[in-house]
Structure 1
Amino acid sequence: MDGSVARPRPFLALGLRLATAATLATMAMLVKLASERGAHLAELVFWRQAITLVCVTALLAGTGQLRSIRTQRFGSHARRAAFGITGMFFVYGAVILLPLAEATVISFTAPFFAVMLSVILFREKVGLYRWFAVALGFAGVVVLTQPAFGVGAETSIDPLGAVVGLVAALLVAAISFQVQDLNKTEAPWSIVFWFTALTAPVMLIALPFIFQPHDPATWGIIVAMALCGAVAQILLTASLRFGSAGVILLMDYTSLLWATLYGYTVFDRAPPHSLWLGAPLIIFAGLIIAWRERQLVIARQKAETALL
């Protein structure tokens, strides 16, 4: 957990990322379950941040790495925290408003928004491959959100939920650029620490206005949800330490399997036919973007080597 670069261990990285996907899917299921038992969205966000802050701080203190949180970019951390907490509300809101599998598939549109933001914010030149992937991905969203592919009204998707999910994906894409910038000067654990340290107190202020008593079972679900978030954050950081992001990110798509399983076993909802038509389009489009990004990185590395 020090600042050095760890030796690449691709199979360990893939295993950690698979565990991350499963843990995040479990967290989403617990968010939805807690909401159905009366827990307020803002309350869930508070406990997620507060418990993660405690876990990360304890981990850093226990390993003697508290010094890694020192920063001279407090303003950048504050902006990341503002975007991050807003994004968390939309991500959790999508999970609450939509069935788990559909919310998960819509979250896969984040790479498409990242491509568009790279053009708008950084004037990056995007070629045919990535524009085709963006168009294909959003075609998958259109297919996914059409109730005509399902059987009965219960299989249709709440339009508000679909919009909330797309905004969540947009914010995730925007946050990825902020984290990418912070990674140039900040340790990964510093980014995690300041995100939770800056947002948990803000949510604490809101807690008295939205808090409601819960039975022991609901409290257990809330605590388990927050712990899953903390564990997922640790697993995510570790996976990026041992493997290439362009490769291990592909493991995130396995979260759809968990979301579908939880949707069926916990919430008694089988996915509609539109999911099996739209999801492959979205996932395939994401794979095209990941492949193309990898090709561009390799080309840049070769160009830099040639200049040496």
Structure 2
Amino acid sequence: MAPGQHKHHHLAPFLAVAAGIASFSVMDGLMKNASLAIGAYSALVWRSLISMGVMLPLWKARGGIWPRGEVLRLHALRGLNSAFMATTFFWGLKYLPLAEGMAISFIAPLIALYLAAVTLGEKIGSRAILASVLGLGGVVVIAAGRLGQGGYDANAAWGIASILTSAVLYAWNLILQRRQALIAGPVEVAAFQAVFTGLFLSFAAPWLLQLPSAPALLDIAGSALLATISLMLISWGYGREETQVLLPLEYSAFIWAALTGWVMFGEALTLPTIAGAALIVTGCLIAARKHIEQTAL
């Protein structure tokens, strides 16, 4: 084996995606605050506009050239998917605790694992399957503990249905994310995500858009910054490693969601939460072990 043949197999993509997911989870808390204040739709429109104002000048300053053909179509397709995915997620999150909403959404990586095999031609290894099953098992433990407590209001069922819809869309988003990362740089991905998500959301603005209050605008600005950083980190990581290796990291978002929910909304951590988090971390460590073994080759 020639020296450097496996140079691309290292921990950097793994760490980049892990950091991106952590940032996204904190962003979810800020967006929940904003959604409670002015509605999920309005919060997303204003976030997209702020992200666009930051990323388009940065993209242009780095020599960005307007994409064409398949690249532009892929940016538009992911933007359209993201518009519906984010709206359904944050609307549902208004009626559920942050950690519980995140737990329900974790059906997405399991769906995406097999979508990757069908659409990207990736071979699913036994370790990737085991890592995902452990992660999903952790989510089941957490969700069962929360559901057993009861205490839902009348809107909870609609919230669950909305987040389940978002999870299906997110599974497809993970596949688009990998395809996008292979043909465009992180700055371009983040810039055009904001452009097309904002464009598709804006069609309903004459009927639904609300002006944000000062506190809501602060939350939205913070979430825009975190979302932009996360998109670039995750795009960079997915451009350098297979989807199946990185997918189990999606489950680590629950840990960050639980902490964010506790800090921002006073949502207490329970024993099922801790037990489920242990399974989730185990799944992530199994995925990380593949990187370590490949680095040693």
Partner of 2:4: none
Q: 1:291 to 1:13 in 2, by over 3 A?
A: closer
Partner of 1:28: 28
- CA positional deviation for 1:57: 0.8
- CA positional deviation for 1:219: 2.3
Contact 2:30 2:219 in 1 (8 A): yes
- CA positional deviation for 1:53: 1.6
Contact 2:136 2:280 in 1 (8 A): yes
Contact 2:41 2:87 in 1 (8 A): yes
TM-score (norm 2): 0.75
Q: What is the RMSD computed on CA atoms of the aligned residues?
A: 4.0
- CA positional deviation for 1:30: 0.9
- CA positional deviation for 1:245: 6.7
- 3-state DSSP class of the match of 2:184? coil
Q: 1:92 to 1:287 in 2, by over 3 A?
A: farther
Partner of 1:305: none
Partner of 2:141: 143
CA distance in 1, matches of 2:192, 2:15: 27
- CA positional deviation for 1:47: 1.7
Flag structure 1 segments of 5+ consecutive residues without an equivalent. 1-6, 303-308
- CA positional deviation for 1:28: 0.8
Partner of 2:205: 207
The amino acid across from 1:170 in the alignment is: V
CA distance in 1, matches of 2:23, 2:220: 14
Matches within 5 A, 1:8-47: 17=17, 19-37=19-37, 39-47=38-46
User: Which shifted more, 260-269 or 140-149?
Assistant: 140-149
TM-score (norm 1): 0.72
Q: 1:89 to 1:284 in 2, by over 3 A?
A: farther
CA distance in 2, matches of 1:118, 1:104: 22
2:67 counterpart of 1:70: yes
- 3-state DSSP class of the match of 1:266? helix
Question: Which whole-Å deviations, capped at 9, do the CAs of 1:263-294 have from their partners, x for residues lacking one?
Answer: 22321220333322333334434554x36976
CA distance in 2, matches of 1:46, 1:284: 37
Matches within 5 A, 1:180-259: 180-237=178-235, 255-259=253-257
Flag structure 2 segments of 5+ consecutive residues without an equivalent. 1-6
Partner of 2:3: none
- 3-state DSSP class of the match of 1:141? helix
CA distance in 2, matches of 1:9, 1:130: 16
Identity value in percent: 24
- 3-state DSSP class of the match of 1:97? coil
- CA positional deviation for 1:153: 3.1
From the CA coordinates, give the structure whose radius of gyration is larger.
Answer: 1
CA distance in 2, matches of 1:204, 1:293: 43
CA distance in 2, matches of 1:282, 1:12: 20
- 3-state DSSP class of the match of 1:212? coil
Q: 1:163 to 1:219 in 2, by over 3 A?
A: same
- 3-state DSSP class of the match of 1:153? coil
Aligned positions, number: 286
Q: 1:19 to 1:144 in 2, by over 3 A?
A: closer
- CA positional deviation for 1:175: 1.7
Question: Which whole-Å deviations, capped at 9, do the CAs of 1:34-61 have from their partners, x for residues lacking one?
Answer: 1222x11111121222221221111122
- 3-state DSSP class of the match of 2:267? coil
Matches within 5 A, 1:220-299: 220-237=218-235, 255-285=253-283, 287-288=285-286, 290=287
Contact 1:51 1:230 in 2 (8 A): no
Partner of 1:101: 99
Matches within 5 A, 1:53-64: 53-63=52-62
Q: 1:146 to 1:16 in 2, by over 3 A?
A: closer
The amino acid across from 2:90 in the alignment is: Y
Contact 2:186 2:231 in 1 (8 A): no
CA distance in 2, matches of 1:132, 1:15: 20
CA distance in 2, matches of 1:9, 1:133: 18
